[in-house]
Amino acid sequence: MEPPRALLFDVFGTCVDWRSSIIREGEALGRRLGLGTVDWAAVADAWRALYQPQMETVRSGARPWVTLDVLHREALDRVLADAGLQGVPESDRADFTLAWHRLDPWPDTVAGLHRLGQRFVVAPNSNGHIALMVNLSKRAGLRWDAILGAELARAYKPQPEVYLRGVEALGLVPSQVMMVAAHNVDLVAAAACGLRTAFVPRPTEHGAGQTTDLRPARPVDVVATDLGDLAGQLGA
């Protein structure tokens, strides 16, 4: 097959370990506020569990497109209430919401992306907005050629316009672009738009004992163990 010209990346879960990072930020918040024993892993999971239902309110047209900062904050208020943490002050809620701008990369991400960027155009195609992607990437050392994704399309994956707007912005056609993700739903949607697909499983994204997204649900062009392996398989 002819190599792709550009690689689009899912970020939350594929490039960064959101769960460990949110737990880390929660523990710091707990220490700062003297909150005592809190199950921050449960908080992280509950927070993330609201992600798809919230985006669905945008995808369905029930509300206009808003950034993940807005969705994350609304969800956080519900999660803290459910966890009995109503006392967390406003300024700490605002800061904790921005924990999603401070997620740590998986160990292979920085070097793998660097290698891939030597050969291909690389860009996030994330549901995170531009400011979140810029802040996260600057902090984590992720180097991109552009920031594509939800904000450019004013839609949320897996809506096809997110993939197609990213491809168009690069001046390419879908078959010249490969979507890289740890999530089957993302790759199925990308493939339906004509993009090529690379599955990079992240078997501890949801912690030990994860049972989802361990292998491709549909045929993909490449399966790689991490971004370094992907670089090797793509000749980068």
Return residues touching a copy of itself (CB under 8 A).
Answer: 69, 121, 123, 129-135, 137-138, 143-148, 151-152, 169-172
Q: Give CA–CA dist 161/134, Å, rounded.
A: 22
Minimum CB distance to a copy of itself smaller for 58 or for 187: 58
**Please, what is the minimum distance in Å from the beta carbon of residue 122 to a copy of itself?**
10
Minimum CB distance to a copy of itself smaller for 152 or for 220: 152
Phi, psi of 129 (to 5 degrees): -80, 175
Minimum CB distance to a copy of itself smaller for 63 or for 143: 143
* Whether the Cβ atoms of residue 155 and residue 168 lie closer than 8 Å to each other: no
Q: Give CA–CA dist 222/228, Å, rounded.
A: 13
**Please, what is the minimum distance in Å from the beta carbon of residue 71 to a copy of itself?**
15
Minimum CB distance to a copy of itself smaller for 144 or for 223: 144
What the block records as the tokens of 75 is 């969800």
Q: Give CA–CA dist 231/166, Å, rounded.
A: 21
**Please, what is the minimum distance in Å from the beta carbon of residue 111 to a copy of itself?**
17
Minimum CB distance to a copy of itself smaller for 85 or for 231: 231
C-alpha distances (whole Å) from 121 to each of 63, 111, 147, 200, 210 are: 33, 15, 11, 18, 32
- How far is it between the farthest Cα atoms of the chain? 57
β-sheet with 196-199: strand ranges across: 148-149, 121-126, 6-9, 177-181, 196-199, 222-223
**Please, what is the minimum distance in Å from the beta carbon of residue 52 to a copy of itself?**
24
**Please, what is the minimum distance in Å from the beta carbon of residue 70 to a copy of itself?**
12
**Please, what is the minimum distance in Å from the beta carbon of residue 114 to a copy of itself?**
12
Minimum CB distance to a copy of itself smaller for 132 or for 187: 132
Q: Count of CB atoms within 10 A of residue 222's CB?
A: 18
